[in-house]
Amino acid sequence: MILPIYTYGTRVLKAKAKPVKKVDAEVIKLIVDMFDTMHAASGIGLAANQVGKLQRVIVIDISDVENDKDAPVRDGIPVFKSHPPIALINPEVAASERAWSIEEGCLSIPGVRDVVERGEKITVRYKDTNFRDVELEADGLLARVILHEIDHLDGVLFLDHLAPEKRKEHKVELKKIQKGEIDVDYPVVTATAARVTSD
């Protein structure tokens, strides 16, 4: 099922998600719905906060990125290497190295992009869908998407990594997003709509 994505200004995006204690039918359904939602929005990563659920769950699918002829190359190796779709439950970064900067965007902040510095190579520990412990070494785009999505679970947006003057450059766009003045081809919950619903 395709879920609406919560956009900039909604409270859930600034809240910290709670650890998942066990994998049950509800968690599996959330993961399946998150993959459906992410694909419908042509995204490559999604955190549970973005669909209004405060659970430490993220999904990622960068399986098609190698087809991007404009992808950056570092030391002769494409940064956008493919990886099968993956769901991470209760992910934690155990190590991060080699900072690098690249432009990011976010389904919750449509139309806004900016350069963010993150670790290029990370080690992440998480539970898989069988609730087994997994340790994964990731680099390039996969590492970046994991870090971006874990930030969401902690109520952190990519904008929070920008210097104040850089954030000011997006002020007009962000106000429009908060008001719901956006043109996207996926369902959303805007800050204005969320306030009306909660009143």
Burial of residue 53 (number of CB atoms within 10 Å: 0-12, 13-18, 19+): buried
Catalytically active residues are 149
86-102 core/surface letters (b: 16 or more CB in 10 A; e: else):
bbbbbbebeeeeeebee
Report phi then psi at 88, rounded to 5. Answer: -120, 125
**How far does the chain reach from its first CA to its final CA, in angstroms?**
27
Residue 131, phi-psi category: left (phi > 0), alpha (psi -120 to 50), beta (remainder): left
Beta strands 45-47 and 57-60, pairing class: antiparallel
